[in-house]
Amino acid sequence: MAPTPPERAEAVLTRSPSLAPLLARGAVLSPFRRPDPSAAHPRTRLVLPGLRPDPAKLAAYAKVCGFPAAADTLPVTYPHVLGFPLAMRLMSARDFPLPLLGLVHTSISVTRHRTTPSAAFHDLTVYVDGLAPHRRGTEAAVVTELRLGDELVWESRSTYLARHSTTHSEGPERAGDPELPAVEEWRLPGDLGRRYGAASGDLNPIHLHPLTARLFGFPRAIAHGMWTVARCLAAHGVPDAAGVRAEFRAPVLLPGTVTYAADGGRFALRGGRGRTHLTGEVTSL
């Protein structure tokens, strides 16, 4: 019989962590990580109570992602931005077994149980849900929950992949998806990563400038994955109570041109030469 995992401890924060020192700590510790799906991982639930979104940051986020300005509800992807510093605190900690450098955001699923007022005070909870073997390495799942009082109003599950050699072969390569009809073409400026980073707080150097992106093997800066899904959802529209799933397939180089495609609840973001950057689906609850 497998041992029962320990109960999760709860750590209550008084403010949102600063991302820059967490990125630095994660970078320093990355060379010492030994990814393994059976490794121990943080069991702490981080809780940030009484969080009210900053109106200026929210407005900047809505603008760069294409959501309506001056809305009285949070964009469906914005709670991820609020929870990201807490997730980074967990993933940059000494007891997180995957290297932060090179960690790839592979998917996100969101359940919005109802609209989330932008002027309300919310309670955030973030925790690592576990590690799993992947055909290309080890994947970690991070859960974010947003509550209004005692009510769970929004929750997400993100997966992050650390690539390394493995003998695990489950999970076949994806089959080709049916091509969705093109809806719009978007020309993305070279400073998009800096603009989204300023609005979201995610200042990972791979998104900011060609020179810093080249340090990590990219020929140019790449768009944030969460910008790509947010921009698609802003164009697609999301019901008040909805489920969203998205898979990040390939990076979007900046500057560049992409095509937003959609049919029914499904959507995709495509680049040149038939390359698919993102696929997703919206369902009404």
pLDDT, greater one: 164 or 281: 281
Q: What is the pLDDT of residue 184?
A: 96
At 91-144, the pLDDT tens digits run 999 999 999 988 889 999 999 999 999 999 999 999 999 999 988 889 999 999
Query: What does the alpha-carbon distance between residue 146 and residue 88 come to, in Å, rounded to a whole number?
Result: 17
Q: What is the pLDDT of residues 72-82, one digit of tens each?
A: 999 999 999 99
pLDDT tens track for 4-32: 455 678 999 999 999 889 988 998 999 88
Distance, in Å, from the CA atom of 51 to the CA atom of 16, rounded to the nearest integer, reads: 9
Per-residue pLDDT averaged across 133-161, rounded? 95
* Token pair for 170: 């489950």
pLDDT at 233: 98
The span from the CA of 191 to the CA of 219, in Å, is: 15
pLDDT at 172 over 50: no
Whether 246 and 108 have beta carbons less than 8 Å apart is answered as yes
- 94, burial (CB in 10 Å: exposed 0-12, middle 13-18, buried 19+): exposed
Distance (Å) of CA 264 to CA 76, 237, 239, 261, 283: 18, 11, 13, 10, 10
pLDDT at 1: 45
Helix axis angle, 192-200 to 55-65, nearest 10°: 150
The predicted pLDDT at position 123 comes to 98
Decide if pLDDT at 269 tops 90.
Answer: yes
* Alpha carbon distances (Å) from 1 to 5, 43, 72, 265: 12, 21, 50, 42
Beta bridge partners of 143: 127, 157
User: How far from chain centre, in Å, is Cα 173?
Assistant: 22
Beta bridge partners of 185: 259
Q: State the pLDDT confidence band at 2, using cuts at 50, 70 and 90.
A: very low
Say if CB 224 and CB 202 are below 8 A apart: yes
Do residues 116 and 73 make contact, with C-beta atoms less than 8 angstroms apart?
yes
